[in-house]
Amino acid sequence: MKRAIITGANGFIGAALCKKLTISGWSVLGFIQTNENITPGHNIELISGFKLETSNIPKNSLINTQCLIHTAARVHVMQDSTVDPLHEFRKVNVEGTLRLAKQAAAAGVKRFILLSSVKVHGESSQIGQSFRESDQVVPESPYALSKYEAELGLMEIAKTTSMEVVIIRPPLVYGPGAKGNFRILLNWIQKGIPLPLGAINNRRSFVGIDNLVDFIITCLEHPKAANQIFFVSDGEDLSTTELLKRAAMAMGRPARLIPVPPVILQIGAKVLGKKEVAQRLLSSLQVDISKAQNLLGWTPPLSINEGLSRCAREI
């Protein structure tokens, strides 16, 4: 039986990946910080106490492993109170990741997959100008910079060892169990709360958890995925307004969207100290998945409407 290791196995992405891999015939060893949010299933072994900054995985656990999927990370913090945020992000996302990768390479792990972020290219794109993997990298936050530095370090490890590396840069990931602003918006729609988001003409890429997991599994063994960087999405970009309309339709609820001009929203967000939230709602951020489609023959198995319908069933 093929064997994979997943860090962050009780996280939003990690838990979904564990479930799908075992269904697909893989044996999974999951490393987690605590025993919360996941119940061991068939062919899943969990080891708690995993620390991101030290990547404290026992060496013998890496033996006879085909692939290690690193989903664990210090994620973006909206109001970071640490004295030196970049240092904290580097300690976990760069040093911890590269320490883990070196251990994996020494143990003979064949492939290392890193869940990175579209944000290594910046916080926004021009409408109609989707980011490609070869485009200039402009990380604007400590989180994004730490992810990019981890990418660079992994590619160096791939050059000097026999372990292959795959880097995946997803946009916003949504699905059943998702938290953050996306879940908040769905809750407001469910409650029928009017939202001033009816006149936003941006374009953003999204990826449903089912599509992301399907793509990760494609990258586990596909020979052409070795040492490559990929964007992944649902293949259809939407404005924030259109996304909310479709989410409301999936939930069987009216979309109570008030057409407030974006410039007014920007001013209001600045006054309220919510500039970053406004940027995510008002700006564009598009990715081009043609490389994944052409090189790996991958297409998203679910449409964004189907993905939103899955979300609606848990609200």
Considering the candidates 26, 143, 148, 298, report the single residue annotated as catalytic.
Answer: 143
Q: Which of 124-154 are b and which e, b meaning 16 or more Cβ less than 10 Å from the residue's Cβ?
A: bbeeeebbebeeeeebebbbbbbbbbbbebb
State the average pLDDT over residues 209-217.
Answer: 97
Q: Give tens-digit pLDDT for 226-259.
A: 999 999 999 999 999 999 999 999 999 998 999 9
Q: Report the pLDDT value the prediction gives residue 294, as an integer from 0 to 100.
A: 97
Task: Show the domain range for 21.
Answer: 3-175+206-237+285-305
Residue 127 and residue 87 share a domain: yes
Q: Which of 151-160, 170-179, 201-210 has the lowest mean pLDDT?
A: 170-179
Start-to-end C-alpha separation, the chain: 37
Residue 113 and residue 101 share a domain: yes
Q: Give tens-digit pLDDT for 22-54.
A: 998 899 988 887 765 555 566 778 877 777 777
- Residue 252 in any domain: the answer is yes
Residue 185 and residue 48 share a domain: no
List residues bridging with 114 in a β-sheet: 70, 167
Contact by Cβ (8 Å): 29, 61: yes
Distance of CA 234 to the CA centre of its chain: 13
Ordered strands of the 228-231 beta sheet: 44-47, 27-31, 3-7, 67-70, 111-115, 164-169, 228-231
Q: Report the pLDDT value the prediction gives residue 206, as an integer from 0 to 100.
A: 96
Residue 255 and residue 133 share a domain: no
- Residue 53 in any domain: the answer is yes
Verify whether residue 143 is a known catalytic residue. Answer: yes
CATH code at 84?
A: 3.40.50.720
State the average pLDDT over residues 65-83.
Answer: 79
> What total of structural domains would you count in the chain?
2
Contact by Cβ (8 Å): 227, 158: yes
Residue 121 and residue 43 share a domain: yes
State the average pLDDT over residues 187-210.
Answer: 94
Q: Give tens-digit pLDDT for 288-314.
A: 999 999 999 999 999 999 999 998 887
